[in-house]
Structure 1
């Protein structure tokens, strides 16, 4: 459990209360949680999954493999090889699950004050009938994340006062969210559409259009060039804190 706040006395009282109900131990400042390392410096707080990735490579016997520029080869086509030795099904499923937890059709980044605070990349639980619908489902998940962060900040005493921006590179998905007219092609996402429309009318969100080449979330959902990948990482403020200086 992570406890945060700006009142040390209240945090201490909460810890004392929880200790009366559960067997607990104070581990001090946050260093490692759910596969994410937390490092602090004068520049700020850095999050890293280095240990998680190294453990994953060790378990799969790939620790000595050469690094690649991008996680996925562009325009790669999967093939079937008759002479291929079957893999262990349970081991394969376990590995895929771990990869999904680390890196997927819906993906988004959330910024607060210009800083990357949350991100997600996850396979959608329904089959999208079009790219617009896939983008639309991703928008819905992004909005839910923003609403959660808005509520969390409000509880911490920092209620957002300005309209939040959700950048999307699909004009059709934006049109679906803003158009009150129902269409046959969107009837199976009507619940999401009305939810988004309600938040738009309340001016909680707005949907600025962003060019595909400037869409940072693409690195979570598809294979892109090495140049685009590293440009996105720079804009996201993602760096290797363990790299030699």
Structure 2
């Protein structure tokens, strides 16, 4: 017997692509424009009315300032597809959303508690820090785990948690580098992170309704942080006014010859993110005429970004890193110096001690709406 496939079904490898093509073509027929910065974002502007659709596989968020336009869109979608309206946004892909006059807060409290329950650590003693200060994980130092699947599953869940929790981003980035052959001390460090999550499982981000729509970035690098490859760690965080909207902690792909080079590479990564966010704001019809601010705590890296002359310290750096200089010359980015003690991006490059960790965490706008008052 031979089965002939007439149309793609849910669960096949081609199904997601076919579904997205069908959805995007249908919604663009009624005047929506697909974003070039994020292909899953669609916008429609009619005078003062704006409607935004964000799609993730077969789940979507609809936002806008015109209730009638949103109702027409829902009616159109129900005619084309079988959809279910879940009402005002409260829970989306594990993210809990709460609103007030002060703004919108998001967290992953239920998801965090599920991780603790699966690991059997709901009753564990809470910790104040996600990683022990000055901790450096290596591939040696203890025995290999008999069942590495448990470690990989745990770290995989923690990676998804970083979309809301910037405070655990560096720790998860560190733990994810040992997925191939995890050791006992790696699992111990992961359990330490779970102890930190137990301290405040409902911790999340607050997006203020009074925030200015101005992009501000902080970038940092920890030179030769990795003891195995001697590569540096890039860390940056970007605010839209007072609200944290983007952050990253990642090991650099090449070995930096100096701390200035490592910092300059982190500036390049932050510059690319700022440029992408400017395109995204343009799609959302948000004016951003002034240059985005980028703060760095390394004077040498700032001089490299401002000086168009190639010299001994910069001639070996890849051309794509000089995107910082190009954006500065265009007036899209304005670089500034920030003191090391005020560099909030330190949170994404190294494990910090409790006082400075809590100070930087407060500057990121991290709150816990479930904490007792």
TM-score norm. by structure 1 comes to 0.84
Is residue 239–residue 246 contact of structure 2 (8 Å, CA) maintained in 1? no
Distance 1:185 1:223, change over 3 A: same
- For residue 196 of structure 1, report the CA deviation from its aligned partner: 2.1
SS at match of 2:336: coil
The answer to whether the 8 A contact 1:5-1:156 is kept is no
Q: Is the 8 A contact 2:297 2:343 kept in 1?
A: yes
Deviation at 1:4, TM superposition (A): 2.3
- In structure 2, what is the Cα distance between the partners aligned to 1:36 and 1:185? 45
From 145, 157, 162, the equivalent of 1:98 is 157
CA distance in 2, matches of 1:36, 1:135: 33
By percentage of residues, which structure has more helix?
1
Classify 1:182/1:12 alpha carbon distance in 2 versus 1 (closer, same or farther; 3 Å). farther
- Is the CA contact 1:121–1:221 (under 8 Å) kept in the aligned structure 2? no
Residues in 1 aligned to 2:324 and 2:78: alpha-carbon distance in whole angstroms: 41
1:227 deviates by: 0.8
Change in 2 beyond 3 A, CA 1:30/1:148? farther
Structure-2 separation of matches of 1:89 and 1:180: 50
CA gap 1:21/1:197 in 2 versus in 1, 3 angstroms: farther
Larger radius of gyration: 2
Cα distance in 2 between the residues matched to 1:184 and 1:78: 34
Residues 10 and 92 from structure 1, CA distance in 2 versus in 1: closer, same or farther, beyond 3 angstroms? same
Deviations 1:16-42 (A, max 9, x none): 444455443222222223433211123
Q: Alignment partner of 2:63: what SS?
A: coil
Partner of 1:120: 247
Task: Kindly state the Cα deviation for residue 185 of structure 1 after the two structures are TM-superposed.
Answer: 5.5
Matches within 5 A, 1:95-244: 95-101=154-160, 102=162, 103=169, 104=173, 105-116=233-244, 118-124=245-251, 126-129=253-256, 130-183=258-311, 186=314, 187-193=316-322, 195-244=323-372
Question: Could you tell me whether the CA contact under 8 Å between 2:297 and 2:340 is conserved in 1?
Answer: yes
Shift of 1:150: 2.2
Q: Distance in 2 between matches of 1:26 and 1:183?
A: 60
Evaluate the alpha carbon distance shift between residue 23 and residue 138 of structure 1 in structure 2; reply closer, same or farther with a 3 A threshold: farther
Structure having the higher strand fraction is 2
Bigger Cα displacement from structure 2, 123-132 vs 228-237: 123-132
- Counting matched residue pairs gives 242
TM-score w.r.t. length of structure 2: 0.58
Distance 1:164 1:177 in 2: 15
Cα deviation per residue 1:30-63 (whole Å; 9 max; x = unaligned)?
2223433211123221122322322222222222
SS at match of 2:309: coil
Alpha-carbon distance in structure 1 between the residues aligned to 2:268 and 2:70? 34
Using the alignment, how far apart are the partners of 2:236 and 2:350 within structure 1? 12
Q: CA deviation at 1:205?
A: 0.9
Q: 1:60 aligns with which of 119, 123, 136?
A: 119
Q: Secondary structure at the match of 1:135?
A: helix
Equivalent in the alignment of 2:106: 47
C-alpha distance in 1 between matches for 2:346 and 2:308: 28
Q: Which runs of 5+ in 1 are unaligned?
A: none
Q: Which has the higher contact order (CA 8 A, sep 6+)?
A: 1
- Corresponding residue for residue 36 of structure 1: 95
Gaps of 5+ in 2: 1-59, 163-168, 174-232
Is the 8 Å Cα contact of residues 109 and 120 (structure 1) preserved in structure 2?
Answer: yes
How much is the aligned-residue C-alpha RMSD, in angstroms?
Answer: 2.6
Q: Deviations over 1:76-101 (max 9, x none)?
A: 2447456x462422332332333334
